[in-house]
Amino acid sequence: MDLRRVLALAFALSAASVGQALAQDGRFDVGGGRMIRLSCQGQGAPTVVVDAGMGSAPVEDEAWRRIAARVSETTRICLCDRAGLGGSDPAPKGRPRASADAAADLEAALRAAKVEPPFLLAGHSIGGLHAQVFAARYPDQTAGLVLISSTHPDQMEAWLARLPAATPGEPKPIADARDYLTRMPRDPSLNPENLDVAASSAQARELRALGDKPVIVATHSPRWRMVPDLPEPLSVELEAVTQGLQKQFLALSSRATQTIAPTAGHGLPHEDPGFVVEAILSGVKAAREGR
């Protein structure tokens, strides 16, 4: 473990123990009077910062609150409601959002709340895509990543490539899946956060490597099916693609590890919160140990 990391961690631990021992829940100005809600508890470093799945406001989500309560016994953890969700103000009007916007809001909210880095970003589903962009844009503030059944930047294209070519009279679930995967990345109206998924995926590809910072890949069970109504052989093939993409995250760091849930599907925080807690705490332990 190099001296700079020792000093940074010592400073963060000191700041946490002195100024962040109490619970902190509020709305913080991220620019122009627009407010983002953060809820933090516990003390210690690195601070875990949760970025939840599409349309989810973790501050009021019982599953995430239970997870945060358990993690807070070991270190500080902050839940963040993205723009337009929960207790946070809507995003500026006029253009679709992208992961870089979510990352910028998060960084500004943490700074306004005087929550000290380094941050261990714990991102679930699309929140994992945002977390990857945060790590790419703010590397000096990033202690590592916990990717919880995270969206992969190549996911939509990889799924679409495995669907058979369109044929007259094909099963409706296959036609519907092809249509959705073709349109969704570039049509923000098809998701509740008006997110430009194609632009977000391109931003996430900017993250080439995190050196020796820990990356914990917490993957859902291979039993999960993207579209339950697809023919089973095709569902199995698409899930095999998903599992392969999850393994690609291991290339982000020399200290990357993967755990796979025994039965829980994509909704890991709600289906197996204990699995999520263990993944986050393993990231905290790895960040504290260094090399």
The residues, any chain, with a CB within 8 Å of residue 277's CB and separated by 6 or more, are 67, 70, 71
State percent of the chain over pLDDT 90. 88
Give the residue numbers spanning the domain of 268. 3-153+200-289
pTM score: 0.91
Report yes or no on 235 lying in a domain. yes
- The total number of structural domains in the chain stands at 1
pLDDT band at 4 (very low <50, low <70, confident <90, very high): very low
> What is the crossing angle of helices 155-162 and 172-183, to 10°?
150
Residue 70 lies in a domain: yes
Per the domain annotation, does 161 fall within a domain? no
| pLDDT band at residue 71 using 50, 70 and 90 as cut-offs | very high
206: which 2 tokens? 């900017």
CA distances from 169 to 172, 174, 214 (A): 8, 11, 49
Given a cut of 90, whether residue 151 has pLDDT beyond it is yes
Residue 184 counted as domain residue: no
What CATH code is carried by the domain that includes residue 129? 3.40.50.1820
| 165 is a domain residue | no
For residue 291, what pLDDT band results from cuts at 50, 70 and 90? low
81-114: pLDDT as tens digits: 999 999 999 999 888 999 999 999 999 999 999 9
Q: Return d(Cα 203, Cα 130) in angstroms, integer.
A: 9
Higher model confidence: residue 233 or residue 3?
233
Nearest to 30 by CA among 82, 69, 71: 82
Q: Is residue 91 assigned to a domain?
A: yes
pLDDT tens for each residue of 190-231: 999 999 999 999 999 999 999 999 999 999 999 998 777 899
